[in-house]
Amino acid sequence: MASETKPVLHGYFRSSCSWRVRIAFALKGIEYDHVPVNLIKDGGQQLTEQYKKLNPMLQVPAVELDGITLSQSLAVIQYIDETRPGPRLLPADPKQRAQVRMISDIIASGIQPLQNLYVIQKIGAEKVQWAQHFIDRGFQALEPILKQTAGKYCVGDEISMADICLVPQVYNAERFKVDVGQYPTIKRLNQTLLEIEAFIVTNPSGQPDTPVDQRA
């Protein structure tokens, strides 16, 4: 049974993993409280002992809901899909559900971790080329898969967890100057999704902790 208490999202405006959770909450119509965790300020607020209690991996997001704390975005999305009403984020059909999980995992495990802040900080001067390499590598795999699975959205004609993962990853690609035009299916899907309210209101350019100079 879902709690009446609003969930608390500890996140960062530009974190793609935090953005995934914001999109899922928006699609489900879930109100939540936002606690900013600045990944840059003070050497990284995610590195404090206080935050470590919420997320031992020292990453964002961390989400407190229903008396538990979850610290992986896909786990949060799947949990709220199973406990809250509203549009399904994972399809009922087992084959489509597996495709959604496959696409989500390619992004969440095979692309995003290799260009996240912690890794990029370790790379140093070659960080942009590093990020471009691994995003391109992932998109080269994702494009032919999406050509097979996509309808209006990543898998068929209903928005799913795969779409929730795709948009923040394309945002990252554009930040690192990857030519998304090389991937027409990815580009088309991203453009379609960016016109949907849940993706608009959760964009990094308009969050409570977005710096003034980065607001839309």
Model confidence over 82-125: pLDDT tens digits?
999 999 999 999 999 999 999 999 999 999 999 888 899 899 88
Has residue 2 been placed in a domain?
no
What is the C-alpha separation between 18 and 12, in angstroms, rounded? Answer: 6
What is the C-alpha separation between 105 and 127, in angstroms, rounded? Answer: 23
Has residue 19 been placed in a domain?
yes
Residues 104 and 193 reside in one and the same domain: yes
What is the C-alpha separation between 106 and 214, in angstroms, rounded? Answer: 29
Residues 98 and 193 reside in one and the same domain: yes
Q: Does residue 127 register a pLDDT over 90?
A: yes
Residue 3: the pLDDT is: 58
- What residues make up the domain containing 123? 94-198
Strands of the chain, DSSP E = 8-11, 33-36, 62-65, 68-70
Q: What is the CATH number of the domain that holds 78?
A: 3.40.30.10
Answer yes or no: are the C-beta atoms of 74 and 104 closer than 8 Å: yes
Residues 139 and 74 reside in one and the same domain: no
What is the C-alpha separation between 11 and 109, in angstroms, rounded? Answer: 19
Residue 2: the pLDDT is: 58
Residues 74 and 105 reside in one and the same domain: no
Facing residues of 62 across strands?
Answer: 10
Residues 16 and 108 reside in one and the same domain: no
CA within 13 Å, CB half, 186: 27
Residues 112 and 169 reside in one and the same domain: yes
Residues 164 and 71 reside in one and the same domain: no
Has residue 28 been placed in a domain?
yes
Has residue 165 been placed in a domain?
yes
Of the candidates 140, 95, 142, 135, which has an alpha carbon nearest to the alpha carbon of residue 119?
Answer: 135
User: What CA–CA distances, in Å, run from 76 to 17, 21, 58, 152?
Assistant: 10, 7, 17, 25
Residues 111 and 183 reside in one and the same domain: yes
Q: What is the 8-class DSSP label of residue 7? A: P
Of the candidates 150, 155, 161, 30, which has an alpha carbon nearest to the alpha carbon of residue 83?
Answer: 30
Has residue 74 been placed in a domain?
yes
Q: What is the CATH number of the domain that holds 101?
A: 1.20.1050.10
User: What CA–CA distances, in Å, run from 117 to 61, 122, 177?
Assistant: 13, 9, 16
Has residue 108 been placed in a domain?
yes
Residues 149 and 194 reside in one and the same domain: yes
CA within 13 Å, CB half, 27: 23
Residue 43: the pLDDT is: 87
Has residue 1 been placed in a domain?
no
Residues 76 and 99 reside in one and the same domain: no
Q: Does residue 204 register a pLDDT over 80?
A: yes
Q: What is the 8-class DSSP label of residue 15? A: -
| Domain count of the fold of the chain | 2
The per-residue pLDDT for range 144-196, each reduced to its tens digit, is: 999 999 999 999 999 999 999 999 999 999 999 999 999 999 999 999 999 99
Give the amino acid at 21: V
